[in-house]
Structure 1
Amino acid sequence: MTADNPNQPSAQSHDSLELSETDRFELNLFVETFYKLTGHDFRNYSLNHIHRRLKVRMTKEGLPTLTLLLNKLIHEPEFITDILSDFSIQVTEMFRDPSFFHSFRKEVVPKLLDYKQIYIWHAGCATGEEALSMAILLSEEGLLDRAKIYATDMSLEAIETAKQGKIPLQRMKVYNRNYLLAGGRRNLSDYYSTDENFAYISQQLVESIFFEKHNLATDGSFQAFHVILCRNVLIYFNKGLQNRVHQLFLDSLRGGGFLCLGHKESIFSNTSQDIYQTFNYEEVIYQKKQDL
């Protein structure tokens, strides 16, 4: 365990790129309209993230301006699903950042051994690869039978994909390398079957995870967890939404529980040292203090 370090940089949002006032006005108008039409709230997401995703969508649709894209959104209700998918954060892989999973196995798992039931939340799970990685790790450590793993995402499409446990076969070579670097005890291929195009993760592992729809921007706490993982998601939020999500995690984490973030993220603010201690600085793992 490392010492507290209040000087660690806070989560960097993707708003560092310069947008014109016109760009900001149009983007804010778009997300405000989307919220009023659908109830999905992206008003506190990084404007640069929104800008990049909409630029890709405009190219796909052959639309030269955001005004035309907004017009399509208003007049073609079926287009909402495409925009929702665009805004979702779907960058993921099995055992992503292997050093994190290696440290989790060696340092966090021993702290979980005394619990009769272990509650774990993967927030912003995308299509589920990291949650499946956790299920494999806990299985190898003899803890899966005691664990309740919740994996949530705002995208229903992503959740439905995750429930299938189906992964394009060409990704598995990289995933196997990640698994071994993360301290895997077997061969990753022991956990899936294949056909010509896909790997199918063991149904036992898939069914050990509760995949559910949950929006970090609008939804509340639903359980008291021993571990919360939200890695490489906060960087897409503005400061206000980052603060909301940190409060949500604080409300959802048991005393002595662990909060795991991405390498470019942190929770440190003026008051955070009273709440958390840094458990592993390099892998951005915090532990909530017991007396809260």
Structure 2
Amino acid sequence: MNKAYSLEFEVNMLLEAILFRYGYDFRHYARASLERRVLNRVQLSELNSVSDMIPKIMHDPSFFNLFLKDMSITVTEMFRDPFVFKKIRESVFTQLKTYSRVNIWHAGCATGEEVYSMAIMLKEEGLLKRTQIYATDFNNHSLEIAAKGIYPAGKIKLFTENYLNSGGTKSFADYYQAKYECAKLTESLKEHITFANHNLIKDQVFAQMHLVMCRNVLIYFDQNLQNRVLNLFEQSLIHRGFLILGDKESLDFSTVKDSFDKYQYPERIYRRSAYV
């Protein structure tokens, strides 16, 4: 058995064990990225092989939680890609202001930085009081961090620059309290946010959403799983609702391509088509 085939076989066995034991299905994750993360966990845990992970996964839930963290590592920050948030403020919010109530779903919210970025913009545009934000992820550890809204003080300089470049209209210091080595976001931002566990692979729609934001998540899925998730988003959105993806993600080769218009394409902002 050659080395590449052996790795593929061992990883397949590991994924089947995870599905059987915990109900998490990682079989349709992009293979190269998945294998890198699995091998990294083998090394960090000082195991001899992927096969050695299987009994630990089966019998040690704390080890499985480590694996979940490995699988949900994301690079995120407040107002990441400020030009995207500026376009949301200038273009998407203009449409959302026509509704008496607004529902927003942040799918794959990770540790919550982009969720709070959205809440700040909604507040400044007079929309927050009539908006409910649903922030979801499959990783409970990430959700706990997001719900606390506490981030390293060393990141505040970057967050402030991004905020200003995204069209912020106030002082970013109005939105956090610095203490010791941390910055805690103001409690008022959380009043319209619901954090919840949701698995895009197997869970159902969030109905009647005006905006779904899912940036830099689909790149970790294979084409079949991408289509499954994009259909989920389509079903969740109201007529003429908005979908925002990451800069390396697209609907061009998806099964829902004809259901959306490219509303602001460089920013990957789509809108459900008027003809569907």
Task: Tell me the residue number matched to 1:145.
Answer: 129
Deviations along 1:42-78, one digit per CA (max 9) or x if unpaired, are 1111122221212221222111311122232234333
Supply the AA of the counterpart residue of 1:235: I
Task: Quote the Cα distance in structure 1 between the aligned partners of 2:7 and 2:156.
Answer: 40
Task: Tell me the residue number matched to 1:178.
Answer: 162
Cα distance 1:58–1:288, how it changes in 2: closer, same or farther (>3 A)? same
From 110, 119, 134, the equivalent of 1:135 is 119
Q: Does 1:163 align with 2:165?
A: no
Match of 1:149, SS state, is strand
Deviation at 1:222, TM superposition (A): 2.6
Deviation at 1:273, TM superposition (A): 4.8
Task: Tell me the residue number matched to 1:74.
Answer: 58
Q: Is the 8 A contact 1:91 1:126 kept in 2?
A: no
From 184, 195, 199, the equivalent of 2:179 is 195
Task: Quote the Cα distance in structure 2 between the aligned partners of 1:78 and 1:212.
Answer: 21
Compute the TM-score of the two structures, normalised by the length of structure 1: 0.90
Q: Is the 8 A contact 2:231 2:256 kept in 1?
A: no
Match of 2:52, SS state, is helix
Task: Tell me the residue number matched to 2:90.
Answer: 106
Q: Is the 8 A contact 1:255 1:291 kept in 2?
A: no
Task: Quote the Cα distance in structure 2 between the aligned partners of 1:62 and 1:266.
Answer: 38
Task: Quote the Cα distance in structure 2 between the aligned partners of 1:206 and 1:231.
Answer: 21
Cα distance 1:270–1:202, how it changes in 2: closer, same or farther (>3 A)? closer
Where structure 2 has 5 or more consecutive residues not aligned to the other structure, the ranges are none
Where structure 1 has 5 or more consecutive residues not aligned to the other structure, the ranges are 1-18
Task: Tell me the residue number matched to 1:279.
Answer: 263
Task: Quote the Cα distance in structure 2 between the aligned partners of 1:81 and 1:231.
Answer: 23
Q: Is the 8 A contact 1:92 1:129 kept in 2?
A: yes
More helix per residue: 1 or 2? 2
Aligned length: 274
Task: Tell me the residue number matched to 1:241.
Answer: 225
Tell me the C-alpha RMSD between the 2 structures. 1.5
Compute the TM-score of the two structures, normalised by the length of structure 2: 0.95
Supply the AA of the counterpart residue of 2:185: I
Task: Tell me the residue number matched to 1:223.
Answer: 207
Matches within 5 A, 1:265-276: 265-269=249-253, 272-276=256-260
Task: Tell me the residue number matched to 1:48.
Answer: 32
Q: Is the 8 A contact 2:207 2:235 kept in 1?
A: no
Cα distance 1:273–1:233, how it changes in 2: closer, same or farther (>3 A)? closer
Same amino acid, percent of matched pairs: 42
Q: Is the 8 A contact 1:118 1:148 kept in 2?
A: yes
Q: Is the 8 A contact 1:119 1:148 kept in 2?
A: yes
Task: Quote the Cα distance in structure 2 between the aligned partners of 1:273 and 1:160.
Answer: 35
From 8, 11, 20, the equivalent of 1:36 is 20
Task: Quote the Cα distance in structure 2 between the aligned partners of 1:263 and 1:44.
Answer: 21
Task: Quote the Cα distance in structure 1 between the aligned partners of 2:227 and 2:82.
Answer: 28
Task: Tell me the residue number matched to 2:78.
Answer: 94
